[in-house]
Structure 1
Amino acid sequence: MSRPTPRARAAAFALGTALLAGLTGCDWPDVSMSPGIAAEAAAAEAADETAEPSSDAADETAADEVAVQDAVPAAATPSESARPAGDLDAGSLTRALPAGDRTVVVDYWTADQATTWTAAGDKTVQLSAHVEGGDGETEVLVTRFAATTDDGTARVLAAEDRGEFALMPPFSYTTALTLTDATPTATSLTLTVQFDLLVETEPGSSRYFRQTVLDTLELPLLQEDPS
Structure 2
Amino acid sequence: MPEGTPGPRTSAVRTKAARAAALALSAALLAGCQLPDVSMSPGLTADDDVAAAAETTAARTTAAGTTAAGLAAGAATAPETAEVPARPAGDLDSGSLTRSLPAGDRTVVVDYWTTQQATTWTAEDDKTIQLAAHVEGGDDDTEVLVTRFAATTDDGSTRALVAEDRGEFALTPPFSYTTALSLPGAASPADALTLSVQFDLLVETEPGAERYFRQTVLDTVELPLLQEDPS
TM-score interval (norm. to shorter): 0.7 to 0.9
CA-CA distance at 1:186 after TM superposition: 1.1
Q: 1:14 to 1:214 in 2, by over 3 A?
A: closer
Higher Rg of the two aligned structures: 2
Structure 1: distance between partners of 2:205 and 2:122: 46
1:131 corresponds in structure 2 to 135
Answer yes or no: is 1:169 the counterpart of 2:176: no
CA contact (8 A) 1:139 1:168 kept: yes
Relative distance call for 1:218 and 1:76 in structure 2 (3 A) is farther
- The aligned residue for residue 49 of structure 2 is 40
CA distances 1:26-52 after superposition (whole Å, capped 9, x unpaired): 58313473560795399459938x849
Equivalence map 1:54-133=2 (5 Å): 78-79=83-84, 81-133=85-137
TM-score by length of 1: 0.75
The range that moved more, 26-35 or 101-110, is 26-35
Q: In 1, Cα distance between the equivalents of 2:82 and 2:164?
A: 38
Name the residue aligned to 2:25. 20
CA distance in 2, matches of 1:224, 1:112: 19
Structure 1, unpaired ranges of 5+: 53-74
Cα shift at 1:128: 0.5
Pairwise CA RMSD of aligned residues? 3.4
Runs of 4+ off more than 6 Å: none
Aligned pair count reads 199
2:121, 2:221 → 1: CA distance? 14
Equivalent position amino acid for 2:109 in 1: V
- Check whether the contact 2:82–2:230 (CA below 8 A) recurs between aligned residues: no
1:142-177 C-alpha deviation (Å, 9 max, x unpaired):
111000001111111110111111111111111110
Q: In 2, Cα distance between the equivalents of 1:27 and 1:203? A: 138
Which 5+ residue runs of structure 2 have no aligned equivalent? 62-79
Percent identical: 62
1:76–1:116 Cα change, 3 Å: farther
- The TM-score normalised by the length of structure 2 is 0.74
